[in-house]
Amino acid sequence: MSTFVIFETFSGTLNERLDIDELEKFAKGIEGVSTTAQTDRLSANYMLDKLAELYDKGEDRQIQSVVAVTGSRTRIEEPLKRAMESAGLDPNCLVTANVREQCAYVHDDRRSATEKAKMIISAAVEKAKLSTPLKRQIVQRFQDVMIVGGGVAGIQASLDLADQGIKVHLVERTPTIGGMMALLVKTYPTDDCAICICGPKMADVANNPSIDLMTYSEVQEVSRVPEGYHVKVLKKPSYVDFKKCVGCGQCADKCPTRVPDQWSGYIGERRAAYLPFSQSIPRKYTIDPENCLYLTKGICRVCEKVCPSHAVDFTQKPEIVELDVGSVIAATGFDNFDPTPYPKFGFQHEDVITQFQMARLLDGEGPTKGKLKRPSDGKRPERVVMIQCVGSRDPEINPYCSRYCCMAAIKHSELTKIEQGDDIDITILYRDIRAGGKGFEEYYNRARDNFGVKFVHGDLQQVDKMEDGTLIVHYLNGRGDKAELAADLVVLSTGMVPSEGSQRLAKTLGVDVDRNGFMGEVDPKVASVITKAPGIYICGAGQGPKDIPESVVQASAAAGMAALQIKSHVGEVGKPFLMPNVEEEVCGRCGICVSICPYNAISMPPKGAVEINNELCQACGLCISSCPTRALENPNYGFDLVDAQVEAILAGRDPSKQVILGFCCNDCGYNLLDTAGINGAKYTSAFVPIYVPCMSTVSMRHIIKAVNGGADGVMLIGCVQDRCHYKKGVDHAEGQLKVLENLYRDAGSRVPIRVLRSCGTMLTQFLENLDGLVKELGGEER
């Protein structure tokens, strides 16, 4: 097996700054390099032709790896990798050495630049020699998708996927789909009635043959298999045979048990046999086992007697349904913040209600048939005060903004003015009115200017009830002075909190939970629906507070990603095995790797060594560099290649000259050095870069090896704070550095090591840091 080294001269321009002929001669002399070539312009076609030529002429049939000595990988790496594949070589065996932007362009002296280029080339050749073809996993994924949550996001995602001809299992915890949206009376800013928008979509779900609707069901177990996920869903007994139930409602009419109705914000009542709301889908009754007299006390069974179609069936048992799905979308939505534990909001007073309750009061289908009545005496309120940010933007409760409450308050004010009479005085006590969406500002202006809704800026202090029943809202105004508002009805704009059970579901699915309890995406900027569990996507308010249009958009996005997931990997070359091998005899089962893996890819079986899941593993190398017994190894990727490169570089150094090894991550680190080159920045030629997938890959061992081998300084270049592309890289680097500093200090020596948290554009910081390091080493400034 041999290595082929190609030099690109950029039509000879690189020769001005580097002695390419000398470099080629140097490369020829490296053990393992069989053939070299020079070209004006490197392209995929050139490489293919060259490889074919060598093969045809029988000159070199042993080539396994190729080193391309060229400029930035950006232009050339992908096409060359594809050419490798066409030539029957593994793309993993291509190594590009950037001697242009990262060497020739940043050093004025041709001699020293050439010397540095030699080091870069020798490192690249060592890396190429060790790189071997990777095993690949080819799987046909399960072609079904499971969607958890039947609110508007889950509905939209289901319909989108069904439209693409994909079979969907829609799992909803409650007896109906429709979620919160179905209960919101109207929707801002168009004032379309919520059920008019949501209802037909719900009907579409019920009628779509590609959608398997599973209401009153919960996800119980999710296990990962190479083809996707094996899921167990618990179907709770509704004690009504859906095949027989015609939805007549006799059971509910005759049911003697009345309980507060969560579907009307606990204002009205429902029976133990119930339909959540009149537009429920499916339109089948459910018997609530917690309140049914027969199921709790063994008496009654009235419903069974009155049901004309004999649909009531108390013998029903919980049922487990097993599904095989290629992808899962979690659209678990939100719950309304419960203000009960905080007396300052006055929720203990009867006439203090939430916006959700307000929506139910304004709904023609609601408990008051659309008449706004105070809960205490059923009278029409004359003065209404709405309080914003209840349970939101409060560091002691929830620090985040719930985003929809400003608009919901404005909507309910307008509806009240239009439908209940414009003599009702409405004041909204707010901190900032956040009307940032299409048509929102116009809606806000209309409420203020046309409908006479009053907006008062202030911070709520306390809601009190006077003896005559009047509510007093105490607040601090914009100056910080005390002020108050009197009201007959106070409406709390309660924020969004993650829905009950969603965190448990997240854990089951292997999805992160963010610090506010919502489901965590892999990247807040470019991947708000993608999670770190492959094939699992999130959308809607379960990912974070958002309104209906945003939820619908996210649902489509999640559906798009899910479709891509189950359609990719089919008949194509799958994901290569980049995960480390585990040496069974050496693994001490300490569990460090299990706990630090940012992707939860490592598990500890009851016996034997740890196990790594290739699909979850992103090959950052953190486990290898943290393993105390060195039981993990990745011979052809990442960690183990670093040592060889360090050795190669230091072997060729001129002892009279300084060498600073720069361990750079493949993302921001590489880009940073490219930026320096393009900008024409100059820095010391003592700096020689080594590329690693991530700072996670770099361990103390590499640094010590570098120092013992004669490196004068070491620099670690990773990504900015909290923005490592593999989550934990720079933090790990800094941790390693601290330990090392202590070690060296104890040993009485000091080795200059720097960690730079940089993004691809932070050129100034890089140059300053490098200068500092050079000075510390006693060398000269660039």
Partner 1 sequence: MKAVEEQKVEEPRVGVFICRCGLNIAKSVNTTALVEFAKALPGVVYSEENQFTCSEDGQKSIKEKIKEHNINRVVVASCSPRLHEPTFRRCIEEAGLNRFLFEMANIREQCSWIYLGQIEKATEKAKHIVNGAVERAKTLEPIGMMRMKAYPSVLVVGGGPAGVEAATRLGDLGLEVFLVERNPFLGGKAMQLGSVFPTEDCGTCVSPCGNDLHRRCLYRSPVAHHPYVHMLTSTELMKVDGYVGNFNATLRIQPRFVDQELCMACGKCADVCPIEVPNEFNLGLDKRKAVYLPSNQALPRTYAIDPKSCTKCGKCVEACPVNAIRLDEQPRDVTVDVGAFVVATGFEVFDAKGMYGYGEYDNVINQLKLARMLDMSGPTNGKVMTLRDGHAPKSIAMLQCVGSRDPKTNVYCSKICCAIALKHAVSIAEQLPDTKITIIHKDIRLSGKEYEDYYYRAEDLGIKLLRGEVQKVTQNDDGSLSLNAVNEFGDPLQLDVDMLVLSTGVVQSKGTQELAHMLGLSLSQDQFLMERHPKLAPLDTAVDGVYICGTCQGPKDIQESITQAQGATSRVAALLLKGVIEVDLAKAQADMDTCVGCGACASACPYKAIMWNAFGRPEVIEAACKGCGICTAVCPVSAMQLRHYKDDQIIPKIHGILAPEKWFDEDKRGEPVVVCFACQWCSYAAADAAGSMKLEYPDNIRIILVPCSGRVDALHILTAFKYGADGVIVAGCLPEQCHYIDGNLKAVDRIDAMKKALDVIGIGGERLELIFAAACMPIEFAEMVTEFTRRIEKLNAEKKAQQAQTVTVK
| Shortest distance (Å) from residue 140 CB to partner 1 | 15
Angle at 542 between CA 537 and CA 543, to 5 degrees: 60
Q: Which of 534, 542, 689, 729 contacts partner 1 by CB under 8 A?
A: 534
Helix H or strand E encompassing 472: strand 471-477
Q: Which of 403, 653, 702, 732 contacts partner 1 by CB under 8 A?
A: 403
- 667 is a contact residue toward partner 1 (CB under 8 A): yes
Which residues within the stretch 117-176 sit at the binding site for partner 1 (CB under 8 A)?
Answer: 152, 160, 163-165
- 630 is a contact residue toward partner 1 (CB under 8 A): no
CB 668, CB 151: distance < 8 Å = no
Please identify, among the stretches 233-241, 278-286, 287-295, 736-744, the one whose residues bind partner 1 according to the rule CB under 8 A.
Answer: 278-286
- 699 is a contact residue toward partner 1 (CB under 8 A): no
User: What single DSSP character describes residue 416?
Assistant: I
Give the span between the Cα atoms of 88 and 332, in whole angstroms. Answer: 47
Query: What number of chain residues touch partner 1 (CB under 8 A)?
Result: 125
Give the span between the Cα atoms of 357 and 348, in whole angstroms. Answer: 14
- 207 is a contact residue toward partner 1 (CB under 8 A): yes
- 237 is a contact residue toward partner 1 (CB under 8 A): no
Which residues within the stretch 4-63 sit at the binding site for partner 1 (CB under 8 A)?
Answer: 10-13, 40-41
| Shortest distance (Å) from residue 153 CB to partner 1 | 11
Please identify, among the stretches 500-508, 631-639, 642-650, 715-723, the one whose residues bind partner 1 according to the rule CB under 8 A.
Answer: 715-723
| Shortest distance (Å) from residue 778 CB to partner 1 | 27
* Torsion on CA atoms 118, 119, 120, 121, rounded to nearest 10: 50
The per-residue b/e assignment along 621-654, b for 16 or more CB within 10 angstroms, e otherwise, is: bbbbbbbeeebbbbebbbbbbbbebbbbbbebbe
Give the span between the Cα atoms of 260 and 275, in whole angstroms. Answer: 13
List alpha helices for 544-684, DSSP H. 548-567, 592-596, 622-626, 639-651, 668-679
| Shortest distance (Å) from residue 591 CB to partner 1 | 24
Q: What tokens does 128 get?
A: 């190429």
Q: Which of 764, 772, 776, 780 contacts partner 1 by CB under 8 A?
A: 764
- 706 is a contact residue toward partner 1 (CB under 8 A): no
Number of Cβ atoms within 10 Å of the Cβ of 581: 13
- 434 is a contact residue toward partner 1 (CB under 8 A): yes
Please identify, among the stretches 298-306, 435-443, 467-475, 488-496, the one whose residues bind partner 1 according to the rule CB under 8 A.
Answer: 435-443
- 591 is a contact residue toward partner 1 (CB under 8 A): no
Q: Which of 31, 423, 722, 746 contacts partner 1 by CB under 8 A?
A: 722
Long-range contacts at 247-252 (CB < 8 A, ≥ 24 apart): 247/275, 247/283, 247/284, 247/285, 248/308, 248/309, 249/275, 249/285, 250/303, 250/306, 250/307, 250/308, 251/285, 251/287, 251/303, 251/306, 251/307, 251/312, 252/285, 252/303
Give the span between the Cα atoms of 756 and 766, in whole angstroms. Answer: 7
| Shortest distance (Å) from residue 185 CB to partner 1 | 8
User: What percent of the residues of the chain are helix, what percent strand, and what percent coil, each to the nearest 5?
Assistant: 35, 25, 45
Q: In a 3-state reduction of DSSP, which class is residue 688?
A: strand
| Shortest distance (Å) from residue 751 CB to partner 1 | 28
- 532 is a contact residue toward partner 1 (CB under 8 A): yes
Q: State which residue, 461 or 679, has the beta carbon closest to partner 1.
A: 679
| Shortest distance (Å) from residue 730 CB to partner 1 | 12
| Shortest distance (Å) from residue 541 CB to partner 1 | 11
Contact string (CB under 8 A) for partner 1, positions 238-277, x = contact: ----------------------------------------
Count the alpha carbons within 13 Å of 152 in the hemisphere toward its beta carbon.
25
Q: State which residue, 554 or 696, has the beta carbon closest to partner 1.
A: 554
